[in-house]
């Protein structure tokens, strides 16, 4: 059985799809805040949402929409998905209650397997009950197929047969098996036989009264005989004990994958509940094809900032179709870095199949996401700041794809404005010509003004808004780059306060 709740036709294998730049994204976008909010104290959910969001960069629009529909069912029926996650978790833990790890004899494995399977059948029955109760009210392709599979595979006949077989395998009336004589008259080719447990009528007894049966009894003090009989019994049940142990592993494997896939949706529910408390908007985005170059949204905000401050934060609007390069300038501490993080986080959330923190959001999917944020000075003094930035950029270039997206935050500002602008210009030209989508937060006026004078239709210039009295609105508006970042405002605010 397969759940297929993250991909339509395959299991989730995060290790194979975890991007090499994953840890950098976590650091630069403060993603651990998001993961913790989704986990709500559950370490397993924390691990899963980490993997699903970062590996989501490889998802296409079909997978995104497939998950969105499943998540929508979860939001409409939150207790349903929480119950499925709980059942999967309890089923996995049930194996530890019955499994005799210190004993490896066939009979002990058989006994442990029977007890484990009986409990697993209870959890499978609970899943079937959920399918029966919710099948008519869910709409997603994923849940419709999953519940139909549960109803078909786990029907009443299955449970009746399974319990009947487990009762037979308890061998309450003894074990019957046949064998052959092999080398040195040793027994080989053991084959378990089914006992005839039906009571004989008087007529059948009368007809079979002439048949001879050969029976021998072992004396209670015959330790060697008892040991030999035990060894024969172990050989006789070896095949069926292995078969039952494999059945246990098969069902546990199903529950492990089910737990993994539902953990993501439970994490989404946890996050949704927290955003509702903060009265922050969320919406299912409209993903566009790789070939598009669009970023359109209304009231997009930095979800990690809202979760950290535990209050509603200011969002931004943008209408950018067929745009490739976004150059963001303006006042210090005006919300530029916050805006850049909101872009990166929303892209990851969209491509993982989640809702995004906005009233409306639509963007093309990308096949790689990179961040190049300013770092602190190298304390080991092994390299200067500019060398460190160039080395990181070189690693990004080695991994670039045709439909990648890169977020630059105050990059190459470790040198003077002229040299930094020239580095940025040459690098941005290559990315721009290849139509790789770039968001560039910068204070390098020569660099920003160079592109402004090109008057290209596919370049957007955004500026952190500043009121005449120096007040920051923390909104970004479209506008020409200015030669100043209004650092004087901050100077006066800090030193006049003292």
Task: Give yes or no for residue 383 having a pLDDT over 50.
Answer: yes
Query: Quick one: DSSP state of residue 185?
Result: G
For residue range 201-231, list pLDDT tens digits in order: 656 655 555 666 666 677 777 777 667 667 6
- How far is the C-alpha of 18 from the C-alpha of 55, rounded, in Å? 5
Return the axis-axis angle of helices 78-98 and 106-134, rounded to nearest 10°. Answer: 170
Question: pTM of the predicted model, to two decimals?
Answer: 0.87
Q: What are the pLDDT digits (tens) for 423-472?
A: 999 999 999 999 999 999 999 999 999 999 988 999 999 999 888 777 88
pLDDT tens readout for residues 238-258: 677 788 888 899 999 999 999
Mean pLDDT, rounded, for 112-138:
94
CA 412 to chain centre: 34
What pLDDT is stored for residue 164 in this prediction?
87
Q: Please, which residues have CB within 8 angstroms of residue 402's CB and are 6 or more apart in sequence?
A: 367, 434, 436
CB within 8 A of 227, min separation 6: which ones? none
* Closest of 57, 60, 77 to residue 143, by C-alpha: 77
> Could you say which DSSP state residue 57 is in?
G
> Of the candidates 138, 127, 51, 57, which has an alpha carbon nearest to the alpha carbon of residue 90?
127
Stretch among 194-203, 247-256, 281-290 having the lowest mean pLDDT: 194-203
The residues that bridge with 286 in the sheet, in sequence order, are: 362
Tell me: pLDDT of 492 over 60: no
Contact criterion met (CB below 8 Å) for 407 and 437? no
Q: Which pLDDT band holds residue 491 (cuts at 50, 70, 90)?
A: very low
In this model, does residue 38 exceed pLDDT 80?
yes
**Distance from C-alpha of 98 to C-alpha of 93, rounded to nearest angstrom:** 10
Q: Dihedral of CA 358/364/370/375: which sign?
A: negative
Coil, strand, or helix at residue 180?
Answer: strand
* 34-38, 56-60, 282-286, range with the lowest pLDDT: 56-60
Contacts of 225 (CB under 8 A, 6+ apart): 218, 219
Pairing of strands 176-181, 187-193: antiparallel
Residue 394, pLDDT above cutoff 90: yes
- Interior CA angle at 267 toward 14 and 54, to 5°? 35
In whole angstroms, what is the distance from residue 4 CA to residue 14 CA?
Answer: 14
CB 358 within 8 A of CB 315: yes
Mean pLDDT of 387-399: 91
Distance CA 61, CA 147 (A): 24
Cα–Cα distance, 276 to 314 (Å, whole number): 16
What are the angstrom distances between the C-alpha of 162 and each of 129, 245, 494? 17, 15, 75
Residue 198 has pLDDT above 60, yes or no: no
Selected residue with higher pLDDT from 113 and 368: 368
Q: pLDDT digit string (tens) for 314-338? A: 999 999 999 999 999 998 888 999 9
DSSP per-residue string spanning 246-271: HHHHHHHHHHHHHHHHHHHHHHHHHH
Q: What per-residue confidence (pLDDT) applies to 160?
A: 94
* Arithmetic mean of pLDDT, 35-45: 97
């Amino acid at each position: 059985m397969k759940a297929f709740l993250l991909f339509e036709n395959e299991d989730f294998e995060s290790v194979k799809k975890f991007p090499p730049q994953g840890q950098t994204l976590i650091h630069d976008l403060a993603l651990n805040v998001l993961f913790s909010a989704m986990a709500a104290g559950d370490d397993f959910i924390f691990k899963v949402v980490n993997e699903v969001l970062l590996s989501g960069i490889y998802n296409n629009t079909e997978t995104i929409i497939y998950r969105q529909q499943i998540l929508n069912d979860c939001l409409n029926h939150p207790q349903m998905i929480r119950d499925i996650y709980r059942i999967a978790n309890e089923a996995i833990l049930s194996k530890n209650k019955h499994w005799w790890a210190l004993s490896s004899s066939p009979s002990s494995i058989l006994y442990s397997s029977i007890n484990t399977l009986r409990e697993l059948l209870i959890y499978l029955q609970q899943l079937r009950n959920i399918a029966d109760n919710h099948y008519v009210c869910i709409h997603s392709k994923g849940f419709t197929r999953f519940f139909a599979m549960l109803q078909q595979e786990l029907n009443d006949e299955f449970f009746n047969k399974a319990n009947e077989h487990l009762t037979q395998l308890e061998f309450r009336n003894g074990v019957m098996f046949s064998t052959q004589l092999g080398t040195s008259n040793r027994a080989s080719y053991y084959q378990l036989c089914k006992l005839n447990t039906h009571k004989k009528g008087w007529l059948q007894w009368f007809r079979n009264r002439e048949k001879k049966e050969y029976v021998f009894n072992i004396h209670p003090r015959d330790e060697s005989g008892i040991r030999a009989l035990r060894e024969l019994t172990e050989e006789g049940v070896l095949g069926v004990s292995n078969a039952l142990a494999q059945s246990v592993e098969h069902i546990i494997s199903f529950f492990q994958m089910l737990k993994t896939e539902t953990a993501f949706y439970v994490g989404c529910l946890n996050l949704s509940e927290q955003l509702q408390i903060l009265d922050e908007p969320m919406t299912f985005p409209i993903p566009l094809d790789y070939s598009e170059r669009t970023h359109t949204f209304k009231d997009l905000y930095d979800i990690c900032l809202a979760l950290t401050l535990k209050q509603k934060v200011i969002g931004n609007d943008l209408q950018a179709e067929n745009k490739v390069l976004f150059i963001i300038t303006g006042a210090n501490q005006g919300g530029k870095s916050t805006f850049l993080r909101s872009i990166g986080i929303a892209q990851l959330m969209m491509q993982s199949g989640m809702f995004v923190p906005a009233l409306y959001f639509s963007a093309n999917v990308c096949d790689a996401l990179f961040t190049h944020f300013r770092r602190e000075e190298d304390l080991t003094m092994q390299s200067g700041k500019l060398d460190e930035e160039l080395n990181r950029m070189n690693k990004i270039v080695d991994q670039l794809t045709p439909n990648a997206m890169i977020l630059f935050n105050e990059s190459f500002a470790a040198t003077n404005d002229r040299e930094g602008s020239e580095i940025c210009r040459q690098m941005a030209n290559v990315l721009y010509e290849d139509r790789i989508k770039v968001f560039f937060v910068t204070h390098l006026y020569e660099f920003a003004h160079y592109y402004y004078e090109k008057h290209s239709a596919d370049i957007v210039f955004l500026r952190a808004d500043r009121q005449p009295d120096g007040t920051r609105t923390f909104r970004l508006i479209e506008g020409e780059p200015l030669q100043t970042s209004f650092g004087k405002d901050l100077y006066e605010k800090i030193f006049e306060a003292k």
